[in-house]
């Protein structure tokens, strides 16, 4: 699989990533149900202006949360692809191993801590 980490470690990380992915997809589903705009009667009701404003704010909040969750979903899916290709735990920028501790904390990490710092600046 990957010469940098044991197959048991990679297998455990894959299970962890798959579990996180399931949880995130469930959260997205629930958020979509909470969206005030998901109500089919929303477009036809004649709510007061303050109600419309609250609904708009609620919708924008839900949309922002879903956007953040979808970003994490894409990072987790990318990590699962790296696992399947035997490239998990290798920094995408410098090609050095990502620390095991970092991967245990953030299993979808694509960059070592040094490269991550450079990217985030």
State the DSSP code for 44: T
Whether 57 is covered by a domain: the verdict is yes
Find all residues with CB under 8 Å of 112, minimum gap 6, and list them.
Answer: 91, 93, 94, 96, 97, 98, 99, 102
**pLDDT tens-place string over residues 57-108:** 777 888 999 999 999 999 999 999 999 999 999 999 999 999 999 999 999 9
Whether 23 is covered by a domain: the verdict is yes
Whether 42 is covered by a domain: the verdict is yes
Whether 103 is covered by a domain: the verdict is no
Which structure tokens are listed for 31?
């958020």
Whether 39 is covered by a domain: the verdict is yes
Helix axes 7-34, 49-85, angle to 10 degrees: 160
Does the reported pTM lie above 0.85?
Answer: no
C-alpha 78/C-alpha 99 separation (Å) is: 18
Whether 94 is covered by a domain: the verdict is no
Whether 55 is covered by a domain: the verdict is yes
**pLDDT tens-place string over residues 28-68:** 999 988 877 766 555 455 555 555 667 777 778 889 999 99
Structural domain including 49 reads: 7-88
- Number of domains composing the chain: 1
Average pLDDT, the chain: 87
């Amino acid at each position: 699989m990957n010469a940098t980490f044991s197959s048991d470690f990679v297998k455990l990380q894959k299970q962890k990533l798959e579990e996180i992915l399931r949880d995130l997809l469930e959260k997205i589903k629930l958020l979509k149900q909470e969206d005030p705009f998901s109500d089919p009667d929303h477009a036809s009701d004649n709510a007061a202006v303050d109600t419309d404003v609250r609904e708009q704010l609620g919708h924008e909040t839900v949309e922002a949360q879903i956007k953040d969750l979808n970003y994490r979903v894409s990072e987790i899916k990318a990590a699962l692809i790296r696992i399947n290709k035997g490239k998990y735990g290798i920094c995408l920028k410098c090609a050095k191993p990502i620390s095991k501790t970092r991967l245990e904390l953030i299993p979808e990490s694509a960059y070592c801590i040094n490269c991550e710092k450079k990217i985030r600046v």
